[in-house]
A and B are shown apart, each in its own frame.
Chain A
């Protein structure tokens, strides 16, 4: 058993190279160990004090979110709230204030839960993960990163150091909506994120939709962009609802049956498209959509 607090990224990467596992806020790792889901790794390196990974930066092509940025930061950051609103919607729904204070975006992404809240927003916003190890760095598409429940394609010595997001087009909006039974400490029953860009005539120019908690990983509704393009938001939302239910492969568990999840994920997808389109048109809908419009975000 060993535990070290990394003072620099190089120190953290050196520890990972010899078998340590990273811990940030510990909100998944420690809770999982205490529940008996998975024992604590024998060797841990704490990365939560790496300030270089705790910033949201504007870059030439979009923004970079350091892996140690917390959900509390994401839900109020002006760049995220104004441009990448679906991600703020999701961050504001995670756990409770105490979870959001120490839970990080990098931790949420690398924990790879199929029910993670930030995953679907990141996917529709076109995010990529930056992985680094003592041997080098690489950029990974999220669809290649998540390989199954709790599984990623990252090597054990690789650390997710940042999430990069491309710039947002003009007249675009995004939203994340989840079905929940309670308003705090909840895990998505199902969830959906949408990103929409509007043409001058109010029809949809393009977009994307992704779903939480209906497959072994976060999944994108591949034909959502094509289904929405050229249509007014109401028609687009209806088409996306059907496509989302069709593509869902949910499980039945204590929280919901597969049939219920397959139906409700379509409802959530339609509401996400609706909210994203209204934001794209300039309507102010507060963060998170679930609270601004109602639980589960019905109008």
Chain B
């Protein structure tokens, strides 16, 4: 049985029909067509599926789509400006914090939430802020450098 709901994603309202057990990630990617958010572990471990729910990072693979009705969902597509790159994206590129890129949308969402709440985080605070995001390529050092650079550029 599906239920008709309206999801507010990146400021736009999307009417969708969803099953109760459907996760937010799958609805974002399949019904709404926003494929920037990735499915990694599907188990809340890796953070590739990170979106912001009312400005707080949440693992969309393990969050029911129905529960997001009436809340504001922000995906990577909502972070990127219409032209050019967001400061976090630019820093990640310039510091070499992107290799395969699969984890990058999730890293950016966690970084965005971290810096919105704390514009000048310590290195330890950055490590904690990104502790729900796994990257199997970079070894994290360059991601850390990119977040430090974004914060100091602000």
Interface residues of A (CB under 8 A from B): 1-3, 5, 23, 26-27, 30-31, 33-35, 40, 44, 46, 48, 72, 95-99, 101-102, 183-185, 291
Contacts and interface: CB of A to CB of B under 8 A. Distances in A.
Interface of B: 1, 3, 19-21, 23, 42-45, 47, 50, 53, 56-59, 61-64, 66-67, 69-70, 110, 113-114, 124, 128-129, 131-133
A3 B132 contact: no
A262 to B, nearest CB: 28
Contact of B132 (A26, A44, A184): A184
Contacts of A99: 44, 59, 132
Q: Which of B62, B124, B131 has the most CB of A within 10 A?
A: B62
Nearest to A35: B43
A101 B131 CA distance: 13
**By CB atoms of chain B within 10 A, which of A3, A40, A95, A99 has the most?**
A3
B62 A97 contact: no
A96 B62 contact: no
Nearest to A43: B20
A27 B56 CA distance: 15
A97 B110 CA distance: 9
B129 A97 contact: yes
A237 B58 CA distance: 39
A34 B59 CA distance: 13
Q: Give chain B's interface secondary structure class.
A: mixed
A46 B66 CA distance: 9
A44 B3 CA distance: 13
A34 B67 contact: no
A185 B21 contact: no
A5 B69 contact: yes
Given A5-B69, A184-B132, A101 B56 contact: yes
A46 B20 CA distance: 12
B20 A95 contact: no
Nearest to B5: A3
A26 B21 contact: no
A48 B47 CA distance: 22
